[in-house]
Amino acid sequence: MQAVVAIHDVNPVYEDRIKRLRDMLVGFGVKKYTYCVVPFFHGVEKLRLDKNPSFVSFLKKEKKDIALHGYTHLKVNHFSEEEFFRMSYQAAAKRIKDGLSIFRKVKIKPSGFVAPVWVASQGTVLAAEGAGFNYATWGNKIFSFKRQREAITNVVIRGNVLTIPSTVMSLIEIAKGDTLQLAFHPTDSILKVELLEELLTLIESKGYKLTDYNSFALSK
């Protein structure tokens, strides 16, 4: 059984919070997790990945799995963070291409695609496969393009749920051994270290191995 660990909304504006989350995970002994990076966060020019060399250097030194987490993490009308909701294949392919072009400028190659707020069209998944990613995640599904398989994760543990171990226990019981997705966001950096340790200890005690998206997607 595997629990995929990821830090979402990774971009320069949240650098301090991301590093605190990193320190908390590493302090517990978590070796594998994915950075879900937004290359042009909310369309703000100064937050483009290629405008922040020190942040890029941080990501490279981490040597962790990196996923493209949308292009701006906003719909074109900026009214929602569901960037790829009901998006056509052509539109999704264009936004993925634009995101990857920024990554190429900083010489980072994302291994997969994680849809913002887990919402994406079928066309987006096809576009992600066409872009050459190893994997894509959408809703409760993780698509491994290299292995040509789809994994259903009945439970995504995120947000306020992370602060309530009893609720986490209930969700694990609901999962009944299926793969879990454990998603941390910059706002979770306020979690007490003791609470995070309790959460991860609980998950591991149920027989789950903590891993990143790419390792999960390429596993047999």
Q: Which two tokens stand for residue 124?
A: 């987006």
- Decide if pLDDT at 164 tops 80: no
Tell me the residue type at 33: Y
Specify the higher pLDDT residue, 13 or 174. 13
Cα separations (Å) of 71 from 77, 81, 125, 218?
Answer: 14, 11, 15, 24
Specify the higher pLDDT residue, 177 or 45. 45
Nearest residue to 16 (alpha-carbon basis) of 58, 50, 62: 58
pTM: 0.92
**77: Cβ contacts below 8 Å, ≥ 6 apart:** none
**37: Cβ contacts below 8 Å, ≥ 6 apart:** 10, 11, 49, 59, 66, 67, 68, 69, 103, 110
User: Each residue of 100-137: pLDDT tens digit?
Assistant: 999 999 999 999 999 998 899 999 999 999 999 999 99
User: Each residue of 171-188: pLDDT tens digit?
Assistant: 777 666 678 888 899 988
Tell me the residue type at 155: V
- Decide if pLDDT at 196 tops 90: no
Q: Place domain 2-218 in its CATH homologous superfamily.
A: Glycoside hydrolase/deacetylase (3.20.20.370)
Determine phi and psi for 151, rounding to 5 degrees. Answer: -110, 135
Strand pairing class (141-144; 135-138): antiparallel
Q: What pLDDT does residue 165 have?
A: 67
Give one word for 70, left, alpha or beta, with left for phi > 0 and alpha for psi -120 to 50: left
How far, in Å, CA of 129 to CA of 134, rounded?
8
Mean pLDDT, residues 23-40 taken together = 95
List the chain domain ranges. Answer: 2-218
Residue 182, classed as helix, strand or coil, is strand
User: Each residue of 21-31: pLDDT tens digit?
Assistant: 999 999 999 99
